[in-house]
Copies of this chain bind each other. A is one copy, B any other.
């Protein structure tokens, strides 16, 4: 029996070596496959009102299901929240109006997790009743706003410099629950680069040290 055992051992070792050799190829193939199918999603609103507690639970909170009477399935809002909450490193937000409590909680959660959050918004809407901007600032998140006559009317987010979220949706409960809206979630290098460039342009321009208050009066001088 000894020679047979020896042969089995040789065959097993050869098989193992072959598996180890092909492992990187297989892993690369899987990675390339994942790369070849970048994230692409289109969300339409109004969104069904669903419970989003499971998504927005702070780490350490009790993991039991929420007992509320809302449906607990997926909705356009829950998919938007998931796309945002995937952030691990950075989140750039460029939003005309931001008053949705759920989206506000998501952004604060990311900030607590150490994600670098930067927000650009419009000065005319940031102080309205129900705006999330004050809460975000209170939580220590950097926010900059325009001082222009025109609106900062973008509604986009960039997650981890990899995924662009953009569309017609202002981040308000009115828009989420009542309006016809669309949001694209797209993992695309070129789009992300162009929108990041736009974000950085606006971020620099809205640097408060550059503000010249009463610009019309300045010009009239």
Residue numbers of A with Cβ under 8 A of B are 40, 42, 44, 46, 94, 96, 146, 148-156, 166-169, 174-175, 177-182, 184, 190-191, 194-195, 198, 202
Q: Can you name 30 A-B pairs with beta carbons within 8 Å? A: A40-B190, A42-B191, A46-B150, A94-B180, A96-B168, A146-B180, A148-B178, A149-B178, A150-B177, A150-B180, A151-B175, A151-B179, A152-B180, A153-B168, A153-B169, A153-B175, A153-B179, A153-B180, A153-B181, A154-B168, A154-B182, A156-B168, A156-B182, A166-B168, A166-B182, A167-B167, A167-B168, A180-B198, A182-B198, A184-B184
Alpha-carbon distance A181/B155, docked complex (angstroms): 9
Total copies of this chain within the assembly: 2
Contact A150 B174 (CB under 8 A): yes
Which single member of B46, B166, B179, B181 contacts A167 (CB below 8 Å)?
B166
Alpha-carbon distance A169/B148, docked complex (angstroms): 17
Looking at A42, A169, A190, the one whose CB has the most chain B CB atoms below 10 A away is: A42
Alpha-carbon distance A174/B96, docked complex (angstroms): 15
- Please, which residue of chain B has its CB at the minimum distance from the CB of A151? B179
